[in-house]
Amino acid sequence: MGAKDKTPSGKDQILELEEIRRQAASGGGDKRIKAQHDKGKMTARERVLFLLDEGSFQEIDALMIHRHQEFGLDEKRFPGDSVVVGFGKVDGRMVAVFSQDFTVMGGSFSEVQGQKVAKILDLAMDAGVPVVGLMDSVGARIQEGVFSLAAYSELFWRNTQASGVIPQISVMLGPCAGGSVYSPGLTDFVIMTRGTSHMFITGPKVIKSVTHEEVDFESLGGAGVHSAKSGVAHFAADSEKDALNIARQLLSYLPGNNAEPPPYVPPQDDPYRQDQALNSLVPTDTDEAYDMRQVIERVVDKTSFFPVHLDFAPNALVGFARLHGQAVGVVANQPNALAGVLDIDSSDKIARFIRFCDAYNFPLITFVDTPGFLPGVNQEHGGIIRHGAKIVYAYSEATVPKIAVIVRKAYGGAYIVLSSKHIRTDLVYAWPTAEIAVMGADGAVDVLYGKEIKAAENADQAREEFVAAYKEKFSKPYPAAASGHVDEVLIPSETRPKLIAALELLKNKQGSTRPKKHGNMPV
């Protein structure tokens, strides 16, 4: 056989492959890409490239096409279909990523999209790397019928399987409606973009026809409403790039999987630093508010506090931070909002964050200053018992190092939940301003000395005297320290080195739980 009869040379094959790759990379075509740009949005690939370290993206399944014929689908076949899938690095650490391509049939969730996303999730779980989903889709591909729904099922099932195994982040960059919202709803963190991303089960038209309520997209399911009211979104970004930067920043705190400790970052701050401003930050008047965020930021490594769910339930603060480079989860009451009281939303916010921290080995630091649970008919009828129980459950279940700093008020159930040794908090520190009691002085005096006050000649004076005596007894941390319920009373400025020393002690803490299939958390 002569040389002429041989199959095309390797060079031709490479040229052919390059042409196929070019086609795949063009998504839904130049016209649709331009339309996407005109809306101020990036394409699926541009988003992936922005998210990942330069040159690190490795795409897979770029050539998959669907097999459906109905409703003209046979004429709409695009290599890679409506999602870009692959893996790459963020700050040098591997992550898996999928990015819905709105230029291909509106990013509709097809059988192929489902298969591709399922594959990358399986790979991520096997490899133990976080997964980031960049969502921009009109929803299920109606033309594919049950195949599209089945694909969603596969995704939801995998989201659930991956929960607690690898961190999952959803970045919402476009519409997300109907059943498709459950995928981001199942992931650990949801980042929404103001103006361009919307999430809802039923849209404004359906709502109007059923309940006669008139509402627009933004008021119904925009970033503002989900980050502040519903709590569905953990972060609200001003732009796509801002959203992707938040994802990068978030990833810098997260371990690859549940068997790894959170990444250690060489510290830039002095472990011995004692911020003297802490000593005068808490007002002497116990009814006066102050910003707990300032306390946190003065204690943890400088600029390391990264709040999560900042706009939702502002009476509680949760977020990641670093102490001498060790990533920790921070939970705190915020006296600046509703006096730091615990209500339904803040209970949900705190409990969910604690469970994430416990699943991914973040030591928990709790700064306590709360008068307790919010009283009220709305709260009781809204299920404060059920929601409050979530915090109890989450703290009790957590086996990671748990350290509490009682800054000021720790009353009743809130003390039990947030800082009690008996709920297995490893170390409880208190500031000299700490008040540990069953309830506040005014309420307690009414219960304890109601008759005496009534019988007194001057009721107001008698009441004041009883309140003063109660405060003398319980408005200091020393009785609790004397009984061992508080491990040490700290000068506030000592808090940082004390916490670092405590983290050193508990670094290799072995937790233990009873064997069980799973608990039955009050959800």
Measured from the CB atom, is 338 or 499 closer to other proteins?
Answer: 499
Catalytic residue, candidates 179, 185, 203, 325: 179
Interface with other proteins (CB under 8 A), residue from 31, 70, 209, 272: 272
Query: Is 372 marked active-site?
Result: no
Q: Which of these segments, 54-62, 81-89, 105-113, 324-332, binds other proteins (CB under 8 A)?
A: 324-332
Torsion, CA 103, CA 107, CA 110, CA 116, rounded to 10: 90
Of 461, 507, 521, 523, which lies in the binding site for other proteins, with binding defined by CB under 8 A?
507
Which of 99, 361, 419, 425 contacts other proteins by CB under 8 A? 361
Q: Which of 89, 119, 421, 509 binds other proteins (CB under 8 A)?
A: 509
The CA-atom distances, in angstroms, between 79 and each of 17, 232, 426 are: 12, 33, 55
Pairwise CA distance, residues 110 & 92, whole Å: 32
Does 521 bind other proteins (CB under 8 A)? Our answer is no
Question: For strand 316-323 and strand 326-333, is the pairing parallel, antiparallel, or unpaired?
Answer: antiparallel
Query: What is the torsion angle, in degrees rounded to the nearest 10, for the CA atoms of residue 431, residue 436, residue 440 and residue 443?
Result: -170
For position 513 contacting other proteins by CB under 8 A, the verdict is: yes
DSSP type of residue 271: T
Residue 325 binds to other proteins (criterion: CB under 8 A): yes
40 CB contacts (<8 Å, ≥6 apart)?
Answer: 196, 240
> Residue 9, interface with other proteins (CB under 8 A)?
no
DSSP helix/strand/coil, 447: helix
Structure tokens at 385: 């018992």
Check residue 126 for interaction with other proteins (CB under 8 A).
Answer: no
Residues 6+ apart with CB under 8 A from 447: 439
- 325 is an active site residue: no
Catalytic residue among 145, 164, 203, 413: 413
Least distance (Å) between residue 242 CB and other proteins: 31
Cβ 503 to other proteins shortest distance, Å: 6
By CB under 8 A, residue 264 contacts other proteins: yes
Q: How far is CA 223 from CA 192, 214, 251, 455, in A?
A: 5, 19, 21, 57
> Pick from 23, 239, 245, 274: which binds other proteins (CB under 8 A)?
274
The single residue of 128, 164, 178, 325 carrying the catalytic annotation is 178
Residues 78 to 107 in contact with other proteins, rule: CB under 8 A: none
| Residue pair 273/300 in contact by the 8 Å Cβ criterion | no
Shortest distance (Å) from residue 372 CB to other proteins: 31
Alpha-carbon 21 to chain mean position: 37
Question: Among 132-140, 256-264, 402-410, 418-426, which window interacts with other proteins (CB under 8 A)?
Answer: 256-264
Closest distance of CB 505 from other proteins, Å? 8
313 is catalytic: no
User: Rounded CA gap, 432 and 344, in Å?
Assistant: 30
The correct pick among 267, 314, 413, 522 for binding other proteins (CB under 8 A) is 267
> Identity (one letter) of the amino acid at 246?
I
Query: What's the Cα-to-Cα distance from 310 to each of 129, 188, 231, 302, rounded to whole Å?
Result: 26, 15, 10, 19
* Residue 215 C-beta: closest distance to other proteins, Å: 45
Q: Is 376 in the site for other proteins (CB under 8 A)?
A: no
What is the distance between the alpha carbons of residues 276 and 267, in angstroms, rounded to a whole number? 21
Using CB under 8 A, pick the residue from 4, 482, 515, 518 that binds other proteins.
515
Contact flag: residue 259 with other proteins (CB under 8 A): yes
Residue 2 main-chain phi, psi, to 5 deg: -85, 170
Dist. CA 413–CA 396, nearest whole Å: 14
Which window, 44-52, 69-77, 172-180, 266-274, contacts other proteins (CB under 8 A)?
266-274
Residue type, 89: K
| Minimum separation from the CB atom of position 276 to other proteins (A) | 13
* Residues contributing to the site for other proteins (CB under 8 A): 258-259, 261, 264, 267, 271-272, 274, 323-326, 361, 399, 491, 494, 497, 500-501, 503-505, 507-513, 515
Catalytic residue set: 178-179, 413-414
